[in-house]
């Protein structure tokens, strides 16, 4: 089971000469909400980056139930100056077995099940 934690949220452009609260993805989402095509309460950005914090040299020594931290940054673009910036930082932990994916055609090790079976 994962446990999401919002570490930080940024409400305005960090450019010292700007400070705008207008963001591209949020303005499109607002239009969709006004049309009734989208509900309230979700945070939208253009791009999400991140993933597990994991040493690939140690994966073979870890049990699939080992909890692994993941970090994510949701990015958007300022509508007034074009600055790309993080609007939300999140972290969570998930079992290693939910994160790693076998290579196509590869057989998992004996006793290994992917995700929740």
State pLDDT tens for residues 83-95: 999 999 999 999 9
The C-alpha atoms of residue 81 and residue 19 are separated, in whole angstroms, by 9
Question: What is the model's pLDDT at position 117?
Answer: 42
Cβ contacts of residue 49 below 8 Å, gap of 6+?
72, 73, 75
Q: 31 is in which domain, residue-wise?
A: 5-99
Question: What is the model's pLDDT at position 87?
Answer: 95
Joined together, the tokens standing for residue 22 give 């207008």
Per the domain annotation, does 50 fall within a domain? yes
DSSP 99: H
Per the domain annotation, does 34 fall within a domain? yes
Q: Is the pLDDT of residue 103 over 80?
A: no
Averaged pLDDT, 1-23: 90
Which region, left, alpha or beta, applies to residue 36 given φ > 0 means left and ψ of -120 to 50 means alpha? left
Per the domain annotation, does 104 fall within a domain? no
- Count CB-CB contacts under 10 A for residue 76: 24
Number of H helices, E strands in the chain: 2, 4
User: Model confidence over 56-72: pLDDT tens digits?
Assistant: 888 888 888 899 999 99
Per the domain annotation, does 107 fall within a domain? no
Joined together, the tokens standing for residue 41 give 């309460």
Q: Where residue 15 falls among pLDDT bands split at 50, 70, 90?
A: very high
């Amino acid at each position: 089971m994962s446990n999401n934690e919002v570490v930080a949220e940024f409400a305005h452009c960090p450019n010292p000469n700007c400070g705008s609260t207008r963001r591209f993805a949020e303005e499109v989402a607002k239009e969709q909400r006004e049309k009734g095509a989208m509900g309230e309460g979700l945070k939208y950005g253009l791009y999400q980056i991140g993933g597990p914090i994991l040493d690939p040299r140690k994966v073979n020594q870890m049990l699939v139930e080992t909890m692994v931290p993941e970090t994510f940054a949701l990015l958007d673009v300022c509508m007034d100056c074009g600055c790309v910036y993080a609007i939300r930082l999140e972290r969570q932990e998930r079992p290693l077995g939910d994160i790693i994916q076998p290579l196509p055609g590869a057989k998992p090790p004996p006793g290994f099940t992917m995700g929740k079976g």
